[in-house]
Amino acid sequence: MATKPVSLQTLQRLPTYLHYLKSLHKEDYPYISATNLADALNLNDVQVRKDLAQISSGGKPKIGYNKANLIFDLEQYLGYNKTDSAVIVGAGNLGKALLTYSGFAEYGLEIVAAFDKDESLIGTNVHGKQIFSLDKLPNLCERLNVKIGIITVPAPHAQEVCDKMTACGICAIWNFAPAHLTVPNNVLVQNENMAASLAILTKHLSSKINSDEE
């Protein structure tokens, strides 16, 4: 399996390939080609072929990839075969929803704790995960070697939380706050901008309705 880095666009497509492959029955489709995969996902077959070639050397002409081996290569490359610890700062409705989601384990992510400034939340448990005071963040991150932080606080507080996370050694941040974060060069931020996603959906819906009415 290749270990060289891939582009961000390729990295974003790899989980989609993996999810589809794992949705197929084990007894069916022991082999799958890049073309078959592209057709199933409505993607460009040349791009899929290039993506797979970067993370797996198992493809064979006219046969394709052994499905089980390709799943293994994808999981290895994405790090799903090991577990990374993460913490959430912001134990409101969204934070609690993420704490209760059990599907993260499939992707090698374990949320070990949450943090908040709200005194009424501190000391309580959500889905077996304790909510701590924010001043406990450095100690827990150091003890458990936490490198992933999830931000679910209101936008005005996001940068402050981000700064606390990076000071604790967190180097990957999953940001759900609608705010631009400034981070050191060695820290990766993945923004989940729900407002932008909703704007795309509503614009598409509006365009479709207008088209149907013409």
The more confidently predicted of residues 57 and 116 is 116
Contact by Cβ (8 Å): 181, 159: yes
Kindly tell me if the per-residue pLDDT of 174 is higher than 80.
yes
Q: What is the pLDDT of residue 45?
A: 92
Q: How far is CA 104 from CA 16, 71, 108, 133, 138, in A?
A: 15, 18, 7, 24, 23
Give per-residue pLDDT as tens, 27-85.
Answer: 677 899 999 999 999 999 999 999 999 999 888 888 899 999 999 999 888 877 677 89
Q: How far apart are CA 138 and CA 135, in angstroms?
A: 7
Task: Specify burial of residue 155 (Cβ count, 10 A radius: 0-12, 13-18, 19+).
Answer: exposed
**For residue 3, what pLDDT is reported?**
54
Task: Give the residue-averaged pLDDT of 95-117.
Answer: 91
- Compute the residue count for the chain: 214
Taking the C-alpha atoms of residue 35 and residue 94, their distance in angstroms, rounded to an integer, is 38
Q: What is the pLDDT of residue 2?
A: 45
d(CA 73, CA 52): 9
Go through the domains of the chain in sequence order and give each one's CATH number.
8-78 (1.10.10.10), 84-196 (3.40.50.720)
| Token reading at 97 | 């929803």
> What per-residue confidence (pLDDT) applies to 35?
92
| pLDDT exceeds cutoff 80 at 211 | no
37 to 11, 13, 56: CA distances (angstroms) = 16, 12, 15
* Paired strand residues for 60: 64
pLDDT of residue 131: 96
